[in-house]
Amino acid sequence: MLAGRAGEAAAMCMRIVTGVARASGAERLQPVVSAHADGCLYHGVAGLDFTERLVELGGKVAVRTTLNVGSLDLLHPGLVRADPTLATNGRRLMDAHVALGCEQTWSCAPYQSGHRPARGAHVAWAESNAITFVNSVLGARSDRYGDFLDIAAAITGRVPYAGLHRDQARRATMVLDFSAVPERVLAHDAAWPAIGAFLGARAGTRVAALTGLPGDLADGGVTEDRLKALGATAASSGGVALFHVVGVTPEAPTLDAVLVPGAPTVSVRAGDLRAARDQLSTATGDRLDAVSLGTPHFSLAEFAALADELLTGPVFCPSVDVYVSTSRGVLALAEQAGYLAPVLASGARILTDTCTYVTPVLSDHVSVAMTNSGKWAWYAPANLGVDTVLGSLRECVASARAGKVVRDDRLWAD
């Protein structure tokens, strides 16, 4: 491939893959069965030059490759307030990825839009929440890949055999024990991003085993969406790319199965989770201008839960802009299932193909935004210049209806 027999694009991509392999000390390359590419979000001319060069050189992906969010909502073009450069170059970058043969999923949750690698499969996924989900919840194997290496891996079908592709790197070196946290607290959906924030702060980039947490990955999506929220927050606040929930996630039927002997245990209390939630809430007072749901992209199960909340009760207060970000694939399913109509009737706006924290969507007047996403709450203050409030889905709905922040803090008591 390096010699160019598979084409000039594959040769360039192989130089990049082997360059990273040399730096990471990998002895060999590992074939992958799929890729998820994150380079379709515009960050400047260099990414566009690189991707269009691959297209000019005749590059095509060698394995199934899904695409992360872009800078534009191609289905709802009025929602993103892009300047002319972002509108033009953002679109060219998205088109170049399609020309390379990638699937137009445009989602940070490809695992809920039809692309679920099998347990043990080696994949090359980018986007920190997707990496954490594919490793932890699906038990497939991806190291942390960033822009460029993702598409280089897709075109070559190879990654360095390093990091989380290796058995020994997947074992937990610490335990977080949640058995002292009351069930009532864990039944509150805002507990799960709070667990993620606590995990990210304690683990950094290490692998942790979580004990004392309820869950069943065959329960129709509740546990899966909780772990998605947990992982997305831990990946943003810490750098976590793999965690195990003992008795729940596929590689951890027992603690012994995943733990490095002698690893330390940290006992977690409800107050720790409340403190983690409060760190993700920078706003004080009850002012509210916007609500953002769907980071990572809303699943069908999350649409069902939102529709259920909205079946009875008033529409959203006109002074609060409510956004739901999702993939075009899930949006079509939500419409068929009848979940979309009550969401639209309440006054929410649906955003696909992109996300409210990576591209200009929120109005200039928004200074306080509420979200059920720990990841959104982590990035929004710096990216968008807004203050945040983290709450459960039910608290977000109640607040959007009331036109001010409404949370029930009694739920967090020890």
Partner 1 sequence: MTDSGQIESGQIESGQIELTGRSLHPGRADAPLIQLEQPLSFWGGVDAAGTVVEARHPQYGIRLAGAVVAMPTGRGSSSSTAVLAELIRAGTAPAGLLLAERDTILVTGALVAAEIYGRWMPIVELSDSDFSRLATGRAVALTAGLAPSPVQVRVDSCTDTPERIRS
Q: State phi, psi for 88 to the nearest 5 degrees.
A: -80, -55
Q: Which of residues 128 and 233 has its CB atom nearest to partner 1 in the complex?
A: 128
Q: Which of residues 221 and 239 has its CB atom nearest to partner 1 in the complex?
A: 239
Q: What is the DSSP letter of 196?
A: H
Using alpha carbons, list the distances in angstroms from residue 191 to 195, 209, 217, 385.
6, 17, 18, 25
Least distance to partner 1, CB of residue 128, Å: 6
Q: Which of residues 164 and 333 has its CB atom nearest to partner 1 in the complex?
A: 164
Least distance to partner 1, CB of residue 142, Å: 11
Find tokens 């201008």 and name the residue.
289
Q: Which of residues 59 and 391 has its CB atom nearest to partner 1 in the complex?
A: 59
Least distance to partner 1, CB of residue 321, Å: 23
Distance CA 196, CA 403 (A): 28
Q: What is the DSSP letter of 126?
A: B
Least distance to partner 1, CB of residue 226, Å: 24
Distance CA 39, CA 307 (A): 33
Residues that bind partner 1 (CB under 8 A): 12, 15-16, 19-20, 22-25, 38-39, 41, 43-47, 49-50, 53, 126-128, 144-149, 160, 162, 239, 379, 382-383
Least distance to partner 1, CB of residue 331, Å: 25
Q: With 0-12 CB in 10 A as exposed, 13-18 as middle and 19+ as buried, what is 275?
A: middle
Q: And the tokens for 28?
A: 């060999």
Distance CA 51, CA 101 (A): 12
Distance CA 2, CA 396 (A): 52
Q: Which of residues 68 and 211 has its CB atom nearest to partner 1 in the complex?
A: 68
Amino acid at site 220 = G
Q: Which of residues 147 and 302 has its CB atom nearest to partner 1 in the complex?
A: 147
Instruction: Please spell the DSSP secondary structure of 28-50, one letter per residue.
Output: SEEE-SEEEE-TTS---HHHHHH
Q: Which of residues 20 and 350 has its CB atom nearest to partner 1 in the complex?
A: 20
Find tokens 């109509």 and name the residue.
341
Least distance to partner 1, CB of residue 159, Å: 10
Could you tell me which residues are beta bridge partners of residue 290? Answer: 321, 369
Least distance to partner 1, CB of residue 380, Å: 11
